[in-house]
Amino acid sequence: MWLFLSFIASILQTFRNSFQRSLMASAGTWAATWVRFAFGVPISLAVMLVLMFIMRHPLYNLSFDFVIIASIGALAQVLATAALMKAMQASSFALGATLQHSSLLITALFGVVFLGDNLQSLQWFGFVLASFGMILASWPKGQVERANLKKTIIGGLWGLLCGCFFAISANAFRRSVLIIEPSPTIFASCFTVLFVQAIQGLGVGIYLKLFEPKNFQKALSSWKESLAAGIAGAGSSIIWFLALALVPAALPRAINLLVEAPGSIIIGAVKFKEHLSKRKIFGILLITGGVILCLFPMFSMQFH
């Protein structure tokens, strides 16, 4: 079940990123970040109300822990989304969307350093392979000019920062859903999404209104694109949160990478007329293969 959910959520997330990228050109990074939350709230609320009516589902197990942990996840996701937009702006849609998945490798390193986790030889090989893939995908084509090198490095750093924040948010959301219901349901997932999006929409909306009022108005005037990002964002988040709660967060993230990396290449080429060389595509494939090797023992445990 979690495999199917992760696959659907990843497809919706890739389209959401493309809608945000289009809006960013006219309204800026924070406005493009805000629309996925603010325009997603009505969708999440409608789904939750339908579930409450059909399932007669009461709210329970809400606690101070839920508020704190969900809020931490909400803040981390806002910062991750903004960093993702910056990575796409500095490099390309496909490369920026791929670099965000460095959260998988960062999580593995954090586990070794702070938790004493033991990585198998196959996992270390996967880490090295994925790291080489990142370098290969990020390195400028032809003669390395200072301007191009600086742009590529900045895009890569934004992507890595995005991965760190996504690693924090994924685990926080997993815990939040399980606080509501130890046996996670679509209702617990939807309520968590609604709570998180409401906080994010309000917080980023206040910032825009105070410091970027013109971009705030542009986001509202481009309501069709904003609504598309909100619908795709709400749908992917509800499904994504449920998948995160069913299995360890790294497993859905791995499926997300496997879907989003090639999907980002296709959308980047078709919608934004971006050209990725064979070397860059090969680098992205190495990243994907490396991540699979890093998580292979987890998949083996899951299916045995």
Q: What's the pLDDT at 261?
A: 61
pLDDT tens for 25-59 read 777 878 888 888 888 899 899 988 888 888 776 66
Burial of 212-239, coded b for 16+ CB within 10 Å and e otherwise, reads beebbebbeebeebbbbbbbbbbbbbbb
Q: What's the pLDDT at 304?
A: 47
| Residues 46, 231: Cα–Cα separation, whole Å | 11
Pick from 4, 2, 1, 12: nearest CA to 260:
12
For residue 271, give both structure tokens.
Answer: 């919608």
Q: What's the pLDDT at 193?
A: 92
Do 283 and 133 meet the contact criterion of CB atoms below 8 Å apart? yes
Highest mean pLDDT among 16-25, 173-182, 277-286: 173-182
Q: What's the pLDDT at 205?
A: 94
pLDDT tens for 229-287 read 888 888 888 887 888 777 666 667 666 666 666 666 666 666 656 666 777 778 778 87
Q: How many domains does the chain have?
A: 1
pLDDT over threshold 70, residue 164:
yes
Range of the domain at 141: 2-302
What pTM does this model have?
0.73
Q: What's the pLDDT at 75?
A: 94
Q: What's the pLDDT at 144?
A: 46
Mean pLDDT of the chain: 76
Do 42 and 193 meet the contact criterion of CB atoms below 8 Å apart? no
Pick from 230, 221, 156: nearest CA to 198:
230
